[in-house]
Chain A
């Protein structure tokens, strides 16, 4: 892990401290403030705002896997929504259809277990579509990951999985079915608590993976796969591991998201959602966990602002209401263009620059 700037007088006598995440009182203080904000302030906001934060959390979970593949392993993917769909459907089916013993459902173990199963299944499904990465890269890999999207969502889920139980297209999730133990998740605030725990766990997992052997192997593959192989890194294994972890997190994201929905259908996981996630990490900055967070916040908040700003105008231009989707999409496109031109390293780089400005104070280098 890049240690960054440490104030004078910070030294470590052993590696455990040398590798600690939070090394100074200043950083620890920041983290306490963050924790207060996350656990004590946000849950008490109006449920509309909590809903927005939940959307941000969902985007972070999705983008984290994409960043792992694109930003850290250099494997471009355009089919991430497929793995989220696998997680979501696995979880939904396990909650609704699986013949659990009664006591199991009463104890509220079905949903938490289904999150895990959904994650593992999505991870394995991701590895399946990552297999071509052993042979192809770049442009061709993009096409194979797109294939994942169409095969999984448009074919398998729409044609077969969504028809299980004869409900038609959408699986409705009756209130009270999503519960962890005695805790029934039925309000945005409760969804928020689940979300924040999952997001923190996933970020912790990815951050720790990145500073251990797999993470270093992934970055070596990203920087130069041939050089990485000559260094003795089993690049096929680590590429597939990267696909597995990315799929695993996507599965968690999907399984989590059903707690926020009254019903799921394949339309929740369109190809454009995969593309959207790539946009999120481009804006946030590839190869940075903070970037994933910043990008998710930016995209969700800009879209919300757009809604607040544009919809009142619909009284004057009724067309706007009809064509709002196009406004949204074109803003998305514009944002990506603008970032690629003016801030190609994303918001995380800007963040780094701001920190650096003060770290180097009163000098410039």
Chain B
């Protein structure tokens, strides 16, 4: 399909809806136990009525429509309706803080706020005072909203009714609205999560979104018979990439889970052909497999071990691009039939053709794990500013320490300072109401990413961790704490790890054991414990963790080995500010909070006396007095 500058997302939507009509299912939503189908005709009708309804309420081309809610068909309808009327879609994360919501709504000049249900409407109500530009608040789920009588509240059903009325009055208005757009018009205003400053709003045009989708699909084609499960926030550019850009061009069926909590189970029912998720999701799957494996019966464990061994061997050969000997291929086939086929079935990956991960670095162990299963997992690199993706692995050319090669028509270069810059049709228009930031990021059509990296001999892009996360020991030898942490976290017993060593003589680590897994392990060994704190300090548990360290230390250069560790008395928790909401470690914060531990790790002390306050989930606080033991990891060979 040809993407011209004249084509817009609504025009493409119109074409596809007319093409498929009532004969093909556009989306499904799980409700009351079945996957309720929504055909392209239904999709079109809803979008048409909603779009005209928004026009009736006063939406003008260029007006912003902010949306917040779970993944539901209605969310996508409203977004498409806003685009059809010439509006600009702004998606907000469900778990955004109040101030953030208020900032984005106010900064984006939003006129229409669309919330899924009572929770979102309450959010809107509490910021209405500070956001005078908001005119109407739309809602979908009536649960709990019976006694809300504010004039500016209106349900999507009523909006559809208004739209139907307007359609009767001016039957050709919708077509006129759809066909007035141009590819360079702004389609989405997406706010990038600012870790340091206020969020910045990236303006993406129809052309940006459509070319990105086209190029990704030219690398990894999908078909309109494919299934895709939409369960990650729409406010994440990756989800827009799949549901809007690729979804519209290919016409695959988008499936919405019953509830966010049932997503994993629902994915298994659907068995998607393509999947894009942050590393966290894949890490969770690996952990599930490992934990269940530990509890499996002897014969099952043996077969599993054998199959993983063969799987790893074949995957490593493929990574090195060496031919797989026929007997290995045969063994792999047999193992696939007796173990891996079933394992993939459990994970919902039976039918997967392409699985993508992006948004953060993923440990090589996890990467190998999926390839050993025969899952075609690939890295994606990109940012919101380039419509989500600019670099991806190609089939059969996957290296787990790189992020792959640039998409067609996309150029990626490294500046003299080592910064990754890219150019292509999907590079955004600029930041909304922020010319200084735009000037800094967008120079001569090149997008400056702020990430450091280099291009290796095969033309693959390698992205370093954000530079502040690359550390050096006191003797100037560098090491990557994230790499070590992801290796440690591959062990099912370790939930979180924090590797320390910046400007220190050697590397140490603070470990949060996985309560349920280690707890089960201790139960089996008939050890007594009453709490996480007590369990973490049992000497046998220390030895168990030490074994994980020895495993991780193996085949690491001497410099990168962990010498001492301590088991923390609690898990890291976003509520305590130790992790971000996306479960990334906030290094500066923990370094400040646990100074005593860091100090003790670099002294001769063997025990740390802790006296701290912890915050429970309900906001109560409690004092904790405890002793933490420090254990050394013996050097290999010296034990």
Contact = CB atoms under 8 A, between A and B. Distances in A.
Given A9-B351, A13-B35, A364 B297 contact: yes
B453 interface: no
B166 interface: no
Interface in B224-277: 268-271
Q: How large is the interface on A (under 10, 10 to 19, 20 to 34, 35 or more residues)?
A: 10 to 19
Contacts of B28: 11, 13
A15 interface: yes
Nearest to B295: A364
A309 B493 CA distance: 57
A48 interface: no
A342 interface: no
A10 B33 CA distance: 13
Interface in B310-355: 339, 342-346, 348-351
Contacts of A6: 269
Given A8-B269, A8-B271, A13-B28, A362 B348 contact: no
Interface in A1-15: 6-15
B300 interface: yes
Contacts of B296: 362-364
Q: How large is the interface on B (under 10, 10 to 19, 20 to 34, 35 or more residues)?
A: 20 to 34
Most chain B CB neighbours (cut-off 10 Å) among A9, A11, A363, A365: A363
Contacts of A304: none
A362 B303 contact: yes
A33 interface: no
B292 A12 contact: no
A363 B293 contact: yes
A364 B292 contact: yes
Nearest to A10: B269
A229 interface: no
Given A9-B351, A11-B269, A362 B33 contact: no
A153 to B, nearest CB: 48
B25 A13 contact: yes
Given A8-B348, A13-B35, A362 B343 contact: yes
Given A14-B34, A364-B300, A7 B343 contact: no
B583 interface: no
Contacts of A362: 293, 296, 300-301, 303-304, 307, 339, 342-343
B478 interface: no
A8 B351 contact: yes
Interface in B3-44: 25, 28, 33-37
B64 to A, nearest CB: 36
Contacts of B303: 362
A12 B35 contact: yes
Most chain B CB neighbours (cut-off 10 Å) among A6, A7, A11, A12: A11
Nearest to A6: B269
A9 B268 CA distance: 6
A223 interface: no
Interface of A: 6-15, 18, 361-365
Interface of B: 25, 28, 33-37, 268-271, 292-293, 295-297, 300-301, 303-304, 307, 339, 342-346, 348-351
Given A13-B35, A364-B296, 15 more contacts: A8-B345, A8-B346, A8-B348, A8-B350, A9-B270, A9-B350, A11-B28, A11-B35, A12-B35, A13-B28, A13-B34, A13-B37, A362-B301, A364-B300, A365-B295
